[in-house]
C-alpha cells in the first residue's frame, strides 16, 4: 500500500447555497459512467437512509439531497473524528439526450444509484449497408 492510499479525504462543504434546514451540507462524492444507452451515477451519502434522500428534476436541473439524522450523535464526546456529520446536496444540468421520464433511483448502503437512460435518438444504432 502506498501512503497516499491511507490518506483521509476531507469532505467538501457546500458553499454559496442557502438551505432552510439547519446544519452543514456537503457535496457527496460522485462517480458517473457512460454506456451506449444510459448514464449511471453513484453518489456516496453515508448515514442517509432511503427515506431521507430526495431526487428532483426541474428545468433539466437534477438535484440530489440527503438528510442525515443526528440523533445517534447526541451526547457523544468523541476523542477523535474523521467523519463530519452533515447533509448532502448536489446538482447537475442534464443534456437533452437524457430521457427525463425514465430516470430511476435506488439507495443501497448509503450509496445513491441513478440510471439516466438516453433518448432513442441519442443511442447508437447500426446502419445497414446494402450492396449497390
Q: How are the residues of the chain apportioned to helix, strand and coil, as percentages rounded to the nearest 5? A: 10, 40, 50
For cell 448509503, name the residue. 110
Query: What does the angle CA 77 – CA 79 – CA 80 come to, to the nearest 5 degrees?
Result: 120
Number of domains within the chain: 1
pLDDT at residue 122, rounded to an integer = 72
Q: Give the CATH number of the domain where residue 88 resides.
A: 2.60.40.790
Q: What per-residue confidence (pLDDT) applies to 19?
A: 57
Give me the pLDDT at residue 22, please: 62
- For residue 112, the enclosing domain spans 23-74+81-120
Q: How far apart are CA 69 and CA 67, in angstroms?
A: 7
User: Does a structural domain hold residue 1?
Assistant: no
Rounded Cα distance between 96 and 121, Å, is: 10
Mean pLDDT for back-to-back runs of 10 residues, the chain (132 residues)? 51 62 82 94 92 94 90 76 82 92 95 94 82 84
Asked if residue 69 belongs to a domain, the reply is: yes
Q: What is the pLDDT of residue 1?
A: 45
- In-domain check, residue 126: no
On whether residue 10 sits in a domain, the answer given is no
Amino acid at each position: 500500500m502506498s501512503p497516499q492510499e491511507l490518506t483521509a479525504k476531507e469532505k467538501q462543504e457546500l458553499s454559496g447555497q442557502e438551505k432552510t434546514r439547519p446544519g452543514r451540507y456537503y457535496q457527496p462524492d460522485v462517480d458517473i459512467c457512460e454506456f451506449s444507452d444510459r448514464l449511471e451515477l453513484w453518489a456516496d451519502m453515508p448515514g442517509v437512509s432511503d427515506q431521507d434522500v430526495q431526487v428532483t428534476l426541474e428545468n433539466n436541473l437534477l438535484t440530489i439531497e440527503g438528510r442525515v439524522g443526528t440523533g445517534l450523535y447526541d451526547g457523544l464526546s468523541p476523542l477523535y473524528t474523521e467523519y463530519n456529520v452533515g447533509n448532502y446536496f448536489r446538482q447537475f444540468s442534464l443534456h437533452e439526450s437524457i430521457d427525463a421520464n425514465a430516470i430511476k433511483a435506488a439507495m443501497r448502503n448509503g450509496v445513491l444509484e441513478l440510471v439516466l437512460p438516453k433518448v432513442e435518438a441519442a443511442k447508437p444504432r447500426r446502419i445497414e449497408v446494402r450492396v449497390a
